[in-house]
Structure 1
């Protein structure tokens, strides 16, 4: 299917390498200069050819005779020359052997390219290895040389289209301009010419643009929102300046709360248009405001915002575990009102985070700018911040819901007398289905009891409720978006027979949906109103694949837009009306991105749909990605499913072989672990990243294992994590790893390591603890959870319930620390300002290690770094440190 791509990924029994392309690239790069000796012959040949071009014959050239006489007349015998040459070659070989630490037999075998090996009983075709090419390197990876280029597409709505056109979108290219484009045409226009603009003797840097939702983008007398000077707060939220931009006047008017100082610009939490574009709602210091675009009038809606009260904005735990967004405000379709959430964190306990290096302006953790004084850009005292962070069994935020009427400017509480979920319920999702009906999805604090409710007028009605754990052994977590369908209906995900499927509710108050259950879904459903069709992604081929499916609502006819007969991991970004698509093929081969008109696909016969997709132009600079990989040896990656016969389940595996892999050699093994409930790390994506770099740098095999409880499969597989955090992960990882080592003689048993980050750090330590030095000799845990009593309540109780209700919390910690004595060495790294997995986790563990008199570990602290460890070169350093540490231990 994708034979013209340079292949690097192999999956299951398929041999997907493109030998023709590889051989063509290699033949173009090879010359007669394959060795030092060939350079001499090449120079002589060049000189000979050059001499033939002159009038004098080569043999009459005086320079030639001068060189010839040295060997003819100086009395050196041929036998002596031969002996000297042999000695030189032997010394050269010995030097190479010593340098490479390989035996002569290994060195000779190294020159042979091993094209096929067997793994898990299947034939694997390796990527070609050429000794004249370079291997992938850490520095090139950090430089972005292996990055797969993609275009960031933002589709316009039909209201925003230029007149007479459709399929419009805008992009932010690598240059300063914001460009307006149209699908698969040469049309291009400039929305904003430069990322910098002046205001009152200062320059500001544009990071984003929010197009007015109600008017054509070509209408010059229009207003858009410009975002500038962002400062990250948490994973999604930021502090930023927001401006109303008028294209015809080229003016930038700051959106600000009333009564601010004239010469001071305050950063807001967010700003967004109403659907009609006439009003902007924004949040500042946890209060809500509305700005009338036509008059410039600003009205303050709430006055109680503080470090304890969040109006229209999620606190840390809601943003991280529930909304995955920076706001909790929903406009009605007619723009007459909106609903917002007030989170009360008064009884939620705080965690203090100190900053030792960062300046005031660099710290987004604060609710307000710090007043701490600095001495010559030095913090004489740490800057102290406080974070509301509920932990298991402690108080969580209390939710209350309000409506705001734009015309009357009245705020009213939404009264819900249903107490089925308790006072500490969680609001997971909400949407206006129409102008009168507001749909909500709520759970109890442990995410086990689920309720679907509708607010209409002044009443809240519970449509359905059930016990999620009792129904399918699962839990409720961050949800896929709800999307609207025709005639007041909406599309959601529903559970049936152990899987999630796309379902259609015909109205807000419907309790029984129509379920499309031929293909399990792993995405939201997108509705195309023109063709009455729903699109979604499925893992029907395997847990590691993602394919695009369409279903006609009236006929129940399904279309595979990407063939389930082929390996592939696709992602989609549809326009709001479902009529245009940015389709990304993410692997296992070289990724591409195409823009698709769904109308064009619907006009094709089923058998021609995929061909029509591949006829569309590629827009993601794939040729540049391929160019960067020319003359480069890249590791070989395989994907497999390992069946555990006794449990009747299968485990997803990814294996990476280093360049030039030879099954006759012995290699270190590095296992990468994550294992969080419902998570997924093994997917058939082309990802030439750190794991490939580690394989190449360490000349090591990399193993990635998806243990029980993770995602991509049905709820039977995921439910193993219920009340069992820390139990199945180490057992599955040890079992699969030990079986792999036993079945393959090319593993150095004394050089087996495991590493992970965050939940993966916890899994790493639990595996080392459980293994007791039998299989794993080394480990690296980055920002690890070490005791789930330290992590946030909503995430932890989702899988473990409250501590007082579940004795398994004793398993969900690193408890048998004495077992860590039996491994050779392990490394722990953590950021001091980690707002997610607090450094308390590592401090608690090191105290346990000290008490147990354990010395075989190292610890590295990154000052002022959060969970990503990316401050002051931290992100590069943490990976380089791990590589060097592993290399030293593998060499010892």
Structure 2
């Protein structure tokens, strides 16, 4: 999927907040340094001032990096050195030592390079698992790159010699470490994925696309589950498109709850066509480019075929589950009992969702419990369905599951019990949306915790609802104040890590949700007792007093009426430059940033000081971000409007917003620009094309799709159907009117030649279009061998330097006078 360039995506907190997708997924690392929180100092001579004692002195106001109030401006150097980067911790909750009713809040921690088990309930508790991050095996030294504890915590699965593959996947050497004997055992080299069984004995691993089972008791591989793995057939791990667009991860295997069965995907991409990517600067002595072939299904071309397989360890036998057909996408797999498995499948265009249930004990036994139409929308791929286990003593007569299902046009929690039930009991309702499905389930109380946009689509608050009391919601976080929260729970649901991510300085706290007392002074939560703060970020909070950080102002813009006479209301925020003076006339340039992909979101109240603030501070420009129609969290009708017609409504809304700003007396309407990356790069070009120089005078497009026939099938067909069924839509949606684009004053195009996601082919085709139309008012920068994130060989520094300097030239009028 696409990665989006967002103020969230590059931070740790982003993992808890669903964005989108071109899934959603910017180039994640690109913004890691630029769009989110930044850092230290811009001049060594100012180091003592920036990091000095609380009584810091203000600098002379004639310094270009200082405001009229004597505060420091935000600069690239700050952002790149993490001056504004809050500390955020992750808590890897673990079970294994206690039953849920005896939840001590155990978690895995790394202290002084060693791996230890700690407890949030008893801070004196500590159990050493592995000392140090380096170890020796047969006189060779290795480094711990990744560690996964067995469920009973007696053994560690360790990966070393890690080699990155695609976005999520790696290869490496795997070892087994016994915490009781302090001994290491070697499992194998060049392993793509390895996962513990719930029984703490068996390990499933993938090597050369075949699936094996290793026994930690016998210290040997005891089963070869498949023998057909090849460059075309993937067992237990995804191919490129399933990793990028469907599973959004590197694993395609699922252990049953008791470790009796192992489900996995068998993906055959024999029919998928290859795309060659040449690499020119990998080795200095190479005279010819290295060409890497990648199986990449473009729109309308053959997809890989996928089958869900179930392996029985006891019988050493594998059977297939009949889920869909050869063209179906299997999007989610979930065990809903010791032997029952649920999988979701859609047609290749995500119009029809089928939910299939199978029993691993009976070969060929399966049923289709649900068949649902998207009704002029599409089914997004999700991985948040939650099994609700049977417990008659607590009123749960049969196994069930909670899913996220549209209800009156908004995504809400739906409870299906028994698991083959076709119609759910909805737990939530209203003109707001649940985000990412259920966040946690308390088996003792039947409480379901979830994050939702109930207060505002730009905020995230935590709530709970009981299975037996639908629609009766309890607020966990304080909704009287603005807030963006994420949460994770201990194994028994007693403790929670509550992370406040904005709009103010982030903090994290550990809550006891089952305490008989509550906080005297609520900060964040109104339910539960705060045990302690994991992070308060006081250093960052104090440091911010030294800077004039331009603030975001959130508002809902009215862009006028649509074809049905309804007001078009969109979320937006603006960042005003330092020392902003509204009495000036025709003075301020406006820098629009857009992503705009289907179901994505950029306008969200997260703390961030990054590239947008750099632009406002350094270019004396107003920065505006608008989430137009097609984006997420404002309901099905708002987002599904773009189906089969990408680029149209999104571009209209950017133009309408720009016109509103062009009418402001303090705005220089001749200096309005638009910047976007990935889907945002596409939207930039489509907006310039539709606008034809009337409102947007400048544009900056990075790594854009220019023709949806050239992008991958799974993402594109979800929103556009196939070219065979919607050729007119594809023709409208591609960037095609070069003459109209040429009416803008000037635009910038940048792309990495090694982009395996949005192929450089898109920009080359676009350049050819410009040549044929005699359009020359643009600049081009190619980054050799860089992928979609553009970071190879210092490229990430250059791409943002170029964006800032090019925008400065545009706002200075250089492209009008010709001096550039």
Call closer, same or farther: CA 1:615–1:152 in 2, change over 3 Å: closer
Aligned to 2:525: 610
Tell me the TM-score normalised to structure 1 length.
0.79
Q: Which position in structure 2 is the counterpart of 1:273?
A: 196
Q: 1:398 to 1:842 in 2, by over 3 A?
A: same
**CA deviation after TM superposition for structure 1 residue 543, in Å:** 1.2
Distance change in 2, residues 1:413/1:613 (3 Å)? closer
TM score, norm. by length of structure 2: 0.86
Instruction: Provide the secondary structure at the position in 1 that maps to 2:724.
Output: helix
How many Å separate the matches in 2 of 1:309 and 1:460?
A: 25
What's 2:335 paired with? 432
**Cα distance, 1:176 vs structure 2:** 2.7
May I ask how many residue pairs the two structures share in their alignment? 739
Cross-structure match for 2:693: 773
Deviation at 1:606, TM superposition (A): 14
What does 1:755-766 align with in structure 2 at a 5 Å threshold? 755-766=675-686
2:691 is aligned with 1:736: no
What does residue 484 of structure 1 align with? 387
Counterpart for residue 56 of structure 1 = none
Is 2:754 the counterpart of 1:837?
no
2:291 maps to which residue?
384
Instruction: Check the 8 A contact 2:596/2:680 in 1, yes or no.
Output: yes
Q: Name the CA distance, whole Å, in 2 between partners of 1:486 and 1:601.
A: 27
CA contact (8 A) 2:519 2:526 kept: no
Say if 1:544 and 1:335 are closer, same or farther in 2 by CA, change over 3 A: same
Map of 2:14 onto structure 1: none
**Alpha carbons of 1:632 and 1:766: their partners in 2 closer, same or farther (altered >3 Å)?**
same
**1: CA distance, partners of 2:732 / 2:413:** 36
| Number of the residue aligned with 2:73 | 135
Aligned-pair distance for 1:163? 12
TM-aligned CA distance change 1:331 to 1:165, over 3 Å: closer
Aligned to 2:178: 246
Match for residue 340 of structure 1 among 261, 264, 272: 264
Aligned to 1:450: 353
**Offset from partner CA, 1:177-236 (integer Å, 9 cap, x none):** 3343221653363433322222334332212211111x2x4xxxx211112232221221
The match for 2:209 among 282, 286, 295 is: 286
**2:705 is equivalent to residue 785 of structure 1:** yes
Give 1:511's aligned residue: 422
Does residue 655 (structure 1) correspond to residue 566 (structure 2)? The answer is no
Which residue of 456, 462, 465 corresponds with 2:371?
A: 465
Alpha-carbon contact 1:151-1:171 (below 8 Å) kept: no
> Within 2, Cα distance between the matches of 1:609 and 1:739?
36
In structure 1, distance between residues paired with 2:682 and 2:776:
19
Check whether the contact 2:335–2:387 (CA below 8 A) recurs between aligned residues: no
Residue 378 (structure 2) aligned to one of 460, 470, 475:
475
**CA gap 1:30/1:337 in 2 versus in 1, 3 angstroms:** closer
2:780 to 839, 859, 862: 859
Q: 1:706 aligns with which of 624, 627, 634?
A: 627
More strand by share: 2
Residue 641 in structure 1 maps to residue 548 in structure 2: no
Say if 1:393 and 1:803, in contact at 8 Å, map to a contact too. Answer: yes
Change (3 A) 1:503 1:159: farther
* 1:547 alignment partner, one of 461, 479, 483: 461
How far 1:169 moved relative to its partner?
1.0
Deviations 1:701-758 (A, max 9, x none): 110010101101110101111111011111000001111221x222121211101000
Q: Tell me by how many angstroms 1:789 deviates.
A: 0.4
Q: Distance in 2 between matches of 1:628 and 1:242?
A: 43
Would the aligned equivalents of 2:205 and 2:212 in 1 still touch at CA under 8 Å? yes
Partner Cα distance (2:215, 2:321) in 1: 25
Question: Does the 8 A contact of 2:103 with 2:492 survive in 1?
Answer: no
User: Residue 89 of structure 1 aligns with which residue?
Assistant: none
- Over 3 Å counting, the alpha-carbon distance change for 1:865 and 1:156 in structure 2 is same
Deviations 1:648-698, CA, capped at 9 Å, x for gaps: 342000111122222134211100011111111110111112111221121
Give the distance between the partners of 1:212 and 1:382, measured in 2 at CA: 44
Root-mean-square deviation (CA), in Å?
2.6
Q: Distance in 1 between matches of 2:369 and 2:100?
A: 42
Partner SS state of residue 241, structure 2: helix
* Deviation of 1:777 (Å): 1.3
Query: Which sections of structure 1, spanning at least 5 residues, go unmatched?
Result: 1-24, 37-95, 101-109, 112-128, 257-265, 360-376
Aligned to 1:80: none
Q: Select the structure of larger CA radius of gyration.
A: 1
Q: 1:330 aligns with which of 240, 254, 262?
A: 254
Q: Which residue of 2 aligns with 1:524?
A: 437
1:11-50 aligned within 5 A: 29=55
Q: CA deviation at 1:601?
A: 7.3
On the 8 A contact 1:392/1:803 being kept in 2, the answer is yes
Match of 1:672 in 2: 593
- SS of 1:565's equivalent in the other structure is coil
Distance 2:544 2:778 in 1: 38
Bigger mean CA offset, 401-410 vs 268-277:
401-410
Cα distance in structure 2, aligned partners of 1:606 and 1:535? 23
Give, in angstroms, the shift of residue 790 of structure 1. 0.2
Flag the structure with higher helix content: 1
Summarize the Cα distance change of 1:162–1:601 in structure 2 as closer, same or farther, 3 Å threshold: closer
Contact 2:301 2:713 in 1 (8 A): yes
Q: Is the 8 A contact 1:527 1:577 kept in 2?
A: no
Secondary structure at 2:668's aligned position in 1? strand
Which residue among 576, 580, 585 is the counterpart of 2:500? Answer: 585
Q: Distance in 1 between matches of 2:516 and 2:491?
A: 18
